[in-house]
Amino acid sequence: MTVNQKHLMTDFNKNKEDIHNKYQGETGLLIANGPSLRSVPLDFLRKYKSIGTNNIYLYNLTDEEIDRYPNNVELKFSPNFYTILGIDQLDSEEDLSYIRPVLEFCEYAFINRLVYPAYDKDKVYAIHSINHETGKRANPKQTFSFEPLKTLGIGYTNTYIMLQIMYYLGFTKLYIVGLDNDYGADPNQLHYYKNDPRFACEPYMGRTAHRRGSNMV
Q: Whole-prediction pTM value? A: 0.83
Cα distance between residue 129 and residue 110, in whole Å: 13
Q: Is residue 213 part of a domain?
A: no
Number of independent structural domains in the chain: 1
Q: Is residue 127 part of a domain?
A: yes
DSSP state of 152: -
Q: Is residue 61 part of a domain?
A: yes
Q: How far is CA 14 from CA 122, 132, 149, 170, in A?
A: 11, 11, 10, 19
| Distance, C-alpha 111 to centroid of its chain | 8
The 10s digit of each residue's pLDDT in 68-112 is 888 888 898 999 999 998 877 787 888 888 888 999 999 999 999
CA atoms within 13 A on the CB side of 124: 18
pLDDT category of residue 114 using cuts at 50, 70 and 90? confident
CB 113 within 8 A of CB 131: no
The 10s digit of each residue's pLDDT in 133-174 is 888 887 766 789 999 999 998 887 889 999 999 999 999 999
Mean pLDDT of the chain: 82
Range of the domain at 11: 5-199
Q: Is residue 217 part of a domain?
A: no
Q: Is residue 10 part of a domain?
A: yes
Q: Is residue 204 part of a domain?
A: no
Residue 25 identity (one-letter amino acid): G
Cα distance between residue 113 and residue 207, in whole Å: 27
Return the beta strands (E) in 32-163 as ranges: 49-53, 81-84, 108-112, 124-127
Cα distance between residue 49 and residue 30, in whole Å: 9
Span between the terminal Cα atoms of the chain, in Å: 25
Greatest mean pLDDT among 37-46, 55-64, 207-216 lies in 37-46
Cα distance between residue 55 and residue 132, in whole Å: 27
Q: Is residue 211 part of a domain?
A: no
Q: Who wins on pLDDT, 182 or 82?
A: 82
Cα distance between residue 113 and residue 129, in whole Å: 9
Q: Is residue 15 part of a domain?
A: yes
